[in-house]
């Protein structure tokens, strides 16, 4: 962590921001998954995608001193449930909807704030 960094909610402010397309694409993927009920076991690749993208976003959040990026770790840990045999994602219920929507919203917020790049 950078001890001299001034931590803010959304990180450094850019004059002409351009959202991160990679993080935005992951957010859209999880938002689309929100409305796709699972008939069988929840896909393992979606769990891995949640964890890997959370680690990547958290690394950038610490680098850019953005508090919103630190939310990605606890939200992505909810994807341990299907791997450990939980039933949250085995039915199309409120847990399924809320977790996918929360992940998609936080990832989208990160894409448009501290993960954005400066337009040239």
- Average pLDDT for residues 22-40, to the nearest whole number? 81
What residues are paired with 8 via a beta bridge?
Answer: 66
Residue 2 CA to its chain's centroid (Å): 22
- Average pLDDT for residues 91-119, to the nearest whole number? 85
Q: How many residues are present in the chain?
A: 120
119 pLDDT above the threshold of 90:
no
What residues are paired with 118 via a beta bridge?
Answer: 17
Instruction: Report residue 23's pLDDT band, with 50, 70 and 90 as the boundaries.
Output: confident
Instruction: Report residue 97's pLDDT band, with 50, 70 and 90 as the boundaries.
Output: confident
pTM, to two decimals: 0.81
The set of long-range contacts for 104-107, using a CB threshold of 8 Å and a minimum separation of 24, is: 104/27, 104/28, 104/30, 104/31, 104/34, 105/27, 106/68, 106/71, 106/72, 106/75, 107/23, 107/24, 107/26, 107/27, 107/30, 107/53, 107/57, 107/72
- Closest of 9, 4, 5, 3 to residue 68, by C-alpha: 9
Cα(60)–Cα(4) distance, integer angstroms = 16
47: number of Cβ within 10 Å: 18
């Amino acid at each position: 962590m950078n001890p001299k960094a001034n931590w803010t909610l959304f990180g450094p402010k850019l004059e002409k921001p351009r959202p991160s397309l990679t993080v935005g694409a992951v957010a859209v993927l999880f938002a689309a998954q929100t409305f796709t009920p699972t008939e069988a076991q929840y896909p393992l690749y979606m769990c891995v995608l949640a964890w890997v993208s959370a680690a990547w976003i958290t690394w950038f959040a610490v680098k850019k001193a953005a508090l919103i990026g630190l939310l990605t770790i606890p939200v992505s840990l909810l994807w341990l449930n299907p791997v450990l045999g939980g039933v949250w994602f085995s039915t199309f219920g409120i847990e399924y909807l809320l977790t996918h929507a929360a992940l998609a919203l936080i990832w989208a917020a990160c894409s448009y704030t501290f993960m954005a790049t400066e337009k040239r």
